[in-house]
Structure 1
Amino acid sequence: MNITSFLLYCLIVTFTPGPTNIVILSAVQNFGVKKTMEYVYGATVSFGILLAVSALLNSALITVVPKVLSIMQIIGSFYILYLAYQIFKMDVSEATVSKPVGFITGLLMQFVNPKVILFTMTVIPSFVIPYYNSFWSLFVFAAVITAIGFLAFITWVLFGTIFKEFLQKYQRASNTIMALFLVYSAFVASGIVGLFRR
């Protein structure tokens, strides 16, 4: 397992602007840290649930249809490339939140957040299952990824205003660097590296 590529993918996807992080950023400015933390707890719980469901579904599917792993790796790689493109062209300057946030809002938003759904459905089969497929190893990786997600949410809470200003000031440079890291992760997750080693 290429742990560097796995961590890069997890860190970039969870720490970069997306619907959840933008809501956190705006909520901390509009409603304060305490109310935003309720949203963060809800978002973290549903993030963990989605990862656990993905791990179980993909593990069961691979047991029934072993060739599906290669297909999921390819789909995951294309999704990572798509994310790289989205991050490269992203504009975070106009994101605001006007509605109150809370635990239930955070919980429900993850289930309709395409970035989170696609990430949770691709990270396990692309990076974990090719190397580890026991129940406990999948549980550990799901817990680690959930913790990374929680740390990303906390980062957006703690450094909300400063982080937003930084992204606006250096948006093009930071988005380009993160997009290039994602392209590297897509290349590794695709399984192409393994073909060259044979």
Structure 2
Amino acid sequence: MTYTSFILYSFIMTITPGPTNIVILSTVHHFGIKKAMEYTYGATVAFALLLFISASLNSMFISVIPNILIYMKIIGSLYMLFLAYQIYSTDSTKPPVSRTGTFYSGLFMQFLNPKVVLFTMTVIPSFILPYYVTSKEIILNVLLITLIGFVAFLSWVLFGKMFRKLLLKYSKFVNILLSLFLVYAAIMIWL
């Protein structure tokens, strides 16, 4: 296996905008870095769990996933639209009420995020299983992917922190833009 392409693929798939990254940015924007990190920890744990599940059940997933993918698309799309509405309707003139940005919302989001589920189901059979067969090798690679994902999530937290004042200054515009990104992500699931 070429580790360069494996790491590059993993990094690109986790750093590019998706529902989790957009919610991380919104959480930093509305609730600060501490809440965003709590969400990020939950998202990272779920990411690792999905990778381990994919590594463990890969052959079964390939035959079962077409049957459950439609349900994941429906639930994931509806959840993204719900998050888009929450971000859009947030009134930045009032003190934020922490409804999102929790460890459990980060954990839950990953299991409904088609981008993450599809990534975890493709990275293992494409980059790991053809070259590594022992449990130790698979676990080490899953941990490496999890670390890459955490770094990508963390970069969105830091981006939000760096630009927080600017994001707060244009809060309504930022909320609309982030909401539209989530709506776009929900629509792209079906295309």
- Residue 130 of structure 1 corresponds to 130
The letter for the 2-side match of 1:112 is L
Q: CA deviation at 1:161?
A: 5.9
- Residue 43 of structure 1 corresponds to 43
Q: CA deviation at 1:36?
A: 1.0
The letter for the 2-side match of 1:53 is I
Distance 1:121 1:100 in 2: 27
Does residue 106 (structure 1) correspond to residue 106 (structure 2)? The answer is yes
- Pairing of 1:173-184 with structure 2 (within 5 A): none
- Residue 120 of structure 2 corresponds to 120
Following TM superposition, the consecutive aligned residue runs of length 4 or more in structure 1 with deviations greater than 6 angstroms are none
Q: TM-score when scaled to structure 1?
A: 0.62
Does residue 147 (structure 1) correspond to residue 150 (structure 2)? The answer is no
Q: Percent of counterpart pairs with the same letter?
A: 56
- Residue 193 of structure 1 corresponds to none
- Residue 8 of structure 1 corresponds to 8
Pair 21,54 (structure 1): closer, same or farther in 2 beyond 3 Å: same
Pair 119,40 (structure 1): closer, same or farther in 2 beyond 3 Å: same
**Contact 1:41/1:106 (8 A) holds in 2:** yes
The letter for the 2-side match of 1:116 is V
Distance 1:95 1:140 in 2: 39
Deviation per CA, 1:26-80: give whole Å up to 9, x if none: 110111001111100100000000000101112xx39xxxxx8xxxxxxxxxxxx
Gaps of 5+ in 2: 63-83, 91-98, 167-191
Distance 2:136 2:11 in 1: 22
Pair 50,134 (structure 1): closer, same or farther in 2 beyond 3 Å: same
Pair 11,163 (structure 1): closer, same or farther in 2 beyond 3 Å: farther
Q: TM-score when scaled to structure 2?
A: 0.64
The letter for the 2-side match of 1:145 is I
Does residue 25 (structure 1) correspond to residue 28 (structure 2)? The answer is no
How many residue pairs match? The answer is 135
**Contact 1:21/1:153 (8 A) holds in 2:** yes
**Contact 1:38/1:103 (8 A) holds in 2:** yes
The letter for the 2-side match of 1:127 is F
Gaps of 5+ in 1: 63-67, 69-93, 166-198
**Contact 2:33/2:161 (8 A) holds in 1:** no
Pair 135,25 (structure 1): closer, same or farther in 2 beyond 3 Å: same
Distance 1:11 1:42 in 2: 19
Distance 1:22 1:95 in 2: 13
Q: Considering only aligned residues, what root-mean-square deviation do their CA atoms show, in Å?
A: 2.6
Deviation per CA, 1:162-184: give whole Å up to 9, x if none: 5799xxxxxxxxxxxxxxxxxxx
Pair 95,154 (structure 1): closer, same or farther in 2 beyond 3 Å: farther
Q: CA deviation at 1:4?
A: 1.5
